[in-house]
Structure 1
Amino acid sequence: MVERNPEVRHMRLLVAEDDPKLLKTLIHIFEQNKFSVDGVSNGGDALTYAQSMEYDGLVLDIMMPGMDGLQVLHTLRQNGITTPALFLTARTEVSQRVEGLDAGADDYLPKPFATAELLARVRAMLRRKDTFLPDLLTLGEVTLNRSTYQLAFRDRLQALSGREFQILEMLMQAPGSIISTERFITHLWGWDTTVDTSVVWVHVSNLRKKINALGAPLDIRFIRNAGYTLEVRS
């Protein structure tokens, strides 16, 4: 059984991004990873929402209409609002990153980004707030470390790639449930991806090899016309 604290609530994020397609993708990514999310598309709304102090973390684009992300965060910090913030933006020069951090950001991730890295950075940001998702996801004697992307069984460790980690995390969060290939694809690659089902199969195949190398009592089963499920051997 997965160990969970029933009193731990889902972390609540505010995402501000002026590209409608990317905003929709970000909301989907976070919601599928157990975050509660509000999305806005301009700086004015971002400031208004963030001033409510109802959020555990902020994910802000810099280039937004009206008020840019730097102005939003600078205003929040001047008003004593310390909600952790991550800038997600196409601006990648070192001087611009420094500008963002000086405005009060906790972290900075340039576009385009990998979903796994985005989630890891947001979790790290929330850890600094002292209310966060647990680093370790445990199923029986098997542990998945969300910070290091390592799978552990007893005294053995196996490193996973970003996609392998994400697939196994989804499976371990719902052991015994069936997750369709389409759900993996939309969750990990986005709605408009050209990735096909064979890519998921390759990652699952590699995962199985690594699980077997550990000797871990986990089986990833494929159920025809349904999807994949994770079973724990007794």
Structure 2
Amino acid sequence: MVRQHRIIHMYPVVLLYLAVCCVRRPVSAITVSSPSEVHAVGGEDITLRCTFSSTSRVTSRMSVDWSYRPPTAGPPQTFFHFSSQAFPSQDGQFKGRLKWEGSPSRGVASIKLLNASLSDNGTYACSVRNPPDVHGFPISQTVLTVTPKVPAIRFSDVAVLLAFILLPSAVIALALLGCMCCPVKDEIQAQGYRSPIEVTPGEEPGLRHAHSKENNVTCCDLYMDSDPEDYYIYEKEHSAKAEAVAESQC
């Protein structure tokens, strides 16, 4: 009776043990996240960000994979792998243009794409594994859009254009306008002024008028300034000579 009583009391303990053993442990999960879209300009270096969270401690078994799918669709192609160290692609369009910027201990699995170009447009997927975390959302995608670089005009370029193109053009234009307006004035000055070097002796401008006036002086003019009596005698003699000439002709 005592033995049967002990067995009856052990039943609850056995049932509890079986329940604990049969119940499944909660499964660990990992979550990966990244920006849905990233925009870049041609020639720039762009960081493709990827972060993850895991309920398990990060160990050397943790790994990261980056894959690329072009806009024309098609299967994704893995071009970057990390497992204790980085293994970038050694061929294809990403050769020599990838840089690891991750930090697994902080939950960062980002990479940098150098010298982005239009051919890099497409969808990039980041996949992280950290056993025993094997469930959850281990993949996240980012769409990269690269646009052409627009050349920018700097202030120094504008200053150079003004200094070496516009200013000489303005000076030439002013010189042409001056040449168009000055000939009229020069012609007027040439007609009213002669250089003393070009004037021959006896033709000085100041004496020319006087000479012409002297050539037109008559005998009457010569005696106008003399004494009136002399002028009367001159007129009488001149009249007598005129009458004698008239009589001789008759």
Common fold: TM-score over 0.5: no
Greater relative contact order (CA < 8 Å, ≥ 6 in sequence)? 2
TM-score normalised to structure 2 length: 0.19
TM-score normalised to structure 1 length: 0.20
